[in-house]
Amino acid sequence: MFPIMPPQANKQERQIIKIFKSLDVANQEALLAFGEFLQTRESTSNYDNQPVDVVVSEPIDIPRPEEESVIKAIKRLSATYPMVDKETILHPISNLMTSHMIQGRKAPEVIDDLQALFLGEYESLKNE
């Protein structure tokens, strides 16, 4: 029996669905998490390229949950440090995400590094 594809799905959408269905549950979750990461990255790049005066305010105190995914940590840290331009740290964030998703690095370790990354960027802004 052939998998049911939405009739309006283009070639890439059908390919993604095919790949997704061929994966085990753990890798399906990894693919979804990476898709969410890419979606988050995309939403931050849709702003006008107009110069903006950045006011370095204090970070917002959002406690780290006991159990947290890397994607949720990125969202939490982005909310904690709204003054940090994620475009400037996109490459290190992407590397950390890859180390978790592809290389199997444990989420708490990656989240620790993400926190250090955001804090370091905040400190740099504050010292400018």
Structural domain contains residue 56 = no
Query: Which residue would you say has higher pLDDT here, 56 or 113?
Result: 113
In the chain, the number of structural domains is 1
Structural domain contains residue 1 = no
Q: What is the pLDDT of residue 48?
A: 46
Residues contacting 106, CB < 8 A, separation 6+: 100
Residue 88 pLDDT > 60: yes
* Cβ–Cβ < 8 Å for 40, 74: yes
Structural domain contains residue 121 = yes
pTM over 0.85: no
* Cβ–Cβ < 8 Å for 66, 31: no
Tell me the residue range of the domain where 34 lies: 12-43+67-126
Q: What is the DSSP letter of 51?
A: -
Structural domain contains residue 32 = yes
Taking residues 2-8, report their average pLDDT: 59
